[in-house]
Amino acid sequence: MKNAEKGVFFIYALPLRLRNRLLLSLLTSRSMP
């Protein structure tokens, strides 16, 4: 049960970090056209 919860949390945490990276890249690209 705990292992499954950790797996789900990991899967949910990955997209968040990826989104942050994409947002940062978009902001930097907009700042420096």
Tens place of pLDDT for every residue, the chain, 33 residues?
688 888 888 878 888 889 899 999 999 988 876
**Rounded distance between C-alpha atoms, residue 28 and residue 32, angstroms:** 6
Q: What is the pLDDT of residue 20?
A: 92
Q: What is the pLDDT of residue 2?
A: 84
**Rounded distance between C-alpha atoms, residue 16 and residue 21, angstroms:** 9
Q: What is the pLDDT of residue 4?
A: 85
**Rounded distance between C-alpha atoms, residue 33 and residue 15, angstroms:** 27
**Rounded distance between C-alpha atoms, residue 25 and residue 32, angstroms:** 11
Domain boundaries, the chain: 1-32
pTM of the model: 0.49
**Rounded distance between C-alpha atoms, residue 19 and residue 13, angstroms:** 10
How many CB atoms are located within 10 Å of the residue 9 CB? 10
